[in-house]
Amino acid sequence: MEQLALFFALLFLTVLGFILGKGRAVALSGQSDQPLHSRLPYYGLYTAIWCGLPSLLIMAGWMIFEPQIAEILVKSQLKEANQSLSADQLSLYINDVINLASGGILSREPDESILEAAESYHLFKQISYFAMAVVAISVSLVTLFGSLRKISPTLRARNKVEKVISVIMMISSLIAILTTLGIVLSLIFETLRFFEKVPFFDFIFGTHWSPQTALRSDQVGGSGSFGAIPLFAGTMLITFICMVIAIPVGLMSAIYMSEYAGKNFRAFAKPVLEILAGIPTVVYGFFAALTVAPFFRNTGTMLGLDVSSESALAAGAVMGIMIIPFISSLSDDVMNSVPQSLRDASYAMGATKSETITKVIIPAALPGIVGAILLAMSRAIGETMIVVMAAGLAANLTANPLEAVTTVTVQIVTLLVGDQEFDSAKTLAAFALGLLLFVVTLSMNVVALKVVRKYREKYD
């Protein structure tokens, strides 16, 4: 709350800086014969940035490091009081101190030392806040007047402001990259821990998946076997079924919409088709589990086939429907962007519409179409909700689409649902599966990029 007040004070100073900076530039342009280097608002922005940015950065840094410093202080104080505490107990104590200071619930009756520590913690907090406010505001004021003094007709305000803005944009793009990197690194480290417990080749080439292990010695449980092959086989089977449905339907609807459909139909059908992509996957999931799977089972029974009530076919079919708009919409866009001049050239050669489509438009649009298919495929591989609800949990190693199979994503979900123990192979297996899945989809994307680059038919 107090921090918010300080934040708004700094924001106010920043706005003030803008007004003062611009005002000074206006005054300068009136009295000096030399024309100003930049337009007036840039001088305002220049002062505003100088006034706001350093002080806000100081405030942010302070708020990040303050709790750590406070904790160290509390820790040293508690250590003096209770020499005998172990590290775990100490951290529990510190929690209590912080809770007490902020009015939270304690894990025990507060004793003398805790009360004392809480008192000093509270005091430290207040001093720290006061100091932060003083430092931030004075920095803000100093930079404000410093930058105001620097404003002169020769100051390249626009260049400086643009430089700052470009740095801010660069940092924004770094956030996404660093987050990805962080996720990958955490996956890698947990996976390494997993491979300390389970041999690498058992995981990669094992054909039996049964992750149940006893958590305590008195518990009955499987010994746990972590062969990932059935999971990847299941994933591939479902993805295959999905693509068998989605690719032909998606491509044909794309061809129809970009080449044959009238403007009105296209204007109506394209958004409607894209709605398919907007339906939450959980809705598809219960559609698959409650409607499609029983339908397949009943049909199978009528034909004398043994169809499991949770089958790869049901999950794959529904996923295929879900994927259609990815393929059709992207391919439609790509085919639409094939220039009219190529169509004209083909028609003028006496080609019919279908010859033009198969011999000119699709080859020219192929990179985009391949890209669309691969994007859809990595979407299908990573899809979770539909398979959780409709494909089942049994890790069968089978190529029969009528049986229940399980996928990598489903197993990650089941491994991490419920109470966890972070050092058991069962939990860590989820990270290994996640990493493997990530590697598979990443390499697919890389291959896709290569294919697209190689076969790009440049029309221009």
Partner 1 sequence: MSSAMDMQNFNIINDPITSEPKIIARDVNVFYGASQALKSINLDIGANEVTSLIGPSGCGKSTFLRCLNRMNDVIENCMVEGRINLDGIDIYNSGLDPVLLRARVGMVFQKPNPFPKSIYDNVAYGPKLHGTVSNKDELDERVEKSLRRAGLWDEVKDRLDKPGTGLSGGQQQRLCIARAIAINPEVILMDEPCSALDPIATAKIEELIDELRKRFTIVIVTHSMQQAARVSQKTAFFHMGEVVEVGETDKLFTSPQDDRTQGYITGRFG
Q: Which stretch binds partner 1 (CB under 8 A): 9-17, 83-91, 348-356, 415-423?
A: 348-356
CB of 258 to partner 1, least distance (A): 15
CB of 449 to partner 1, least distance (A): 19
Which one, 306 or 457, has the nearer CB to partner 1?
A: 457
The binder of partner 1 chosen from 146, 339, 420, 443 (CB under 8 A): 339
Contact between 360 and partner 1 by CB under 8 A: the answer reads yes
Contact between 460 and partner 1 by CB under 8 A: the answer reads yes
Q: How far is CA 135 from CA 3, 56, 68, 263, 309, in A?
A: 13, 11, 19, 64, 68
Residue 269 backbone dihedrals phi, psi, to 5 degrees: -75, -35
The binder of partner 1 chosen from 7, 145, 347, 438 (CB under 8 A): 347
Which one, 8 or 459, has the nearer CB to partner 1?
A: 459
Q: Which stretch binds partner 1 (CB under 8 A): 38-46, 213-221, 356-364, 407-415?
A: 356-364
Q: Which stretch binds partner 1 (CB under 8 A): 36-44, 121-129, 291-299, 336-344?
A: 336-344
Tokens of residue 165, six digits: 């803005």
Contact between 428 and partner 1 by CB under 8 A: the answer reads no
Q: Which stretch binds partner 1 (CB under 8 A): 5-13, 167-175, 233-241, 352-360?
A: 352-360
What are the b/e assignments for 425-455, b being 16+ CB within 10 Å? Answer: bbbbbbbbbbbbbeebbeeeeeebeeebeee
CB of 364 to partner 1, least distance (A): 5
CB of 350 to partner 1, least distance (A): 4
Radius of gyration of the CA atoms of the chain, in A = 32
Q: How far apart are CA 393 and CA 289, in angstroms?
A: 13
Q: How far apart are CA 396 and CA 210, in angstroms?
A: 11
The binder of partner 1 chosen from 89, 138, 301, 352 (CB under 8 A): 352
- With contact defined as beta carbons under 8 Å apart, do 56 and 90 qualify? no
Size, binding site for partner 1 by CB under 8 A: 22
Query: Exposed/middle/buried for 45, CB within 10 Å: 0-12, 13-18, 19+?
Result: buried
Tokens of residue 354, six digits: 């279908």
Contact between 337 and partner 1 by CB under 8 A: the answer reads no
Q: Which helix (H) or strand (E) holds 213?
A: none
Contact between 257 and partner 1 by CB under 8 A: the answer reads no
Tokens of residue 411, six digits: 């197993």
Contact between 346 and partner 1 by CB under 8 A: the answer reads yes
The residue type at 332: D
CB of 345 to partner 1, least distance (A): 5
* Of the candidates 426, 440, 442, the residue with the CA atom closest to the CA atom of residue 203: 426
Contact between 359 and partner 1 by CB under 8 A: the answer reads yes
Tokens of residue 379, six digits: 């979407």
Q: Which stretch binds partner 1 (CB under 8 A): 94-102, 127-135, 345-353, 399-407?
A: 345-353
Q: Give the binding site for partner 1 (CB under 8 A).
A: 339, 341-352, 355, 359-360, 363-364, 457-460
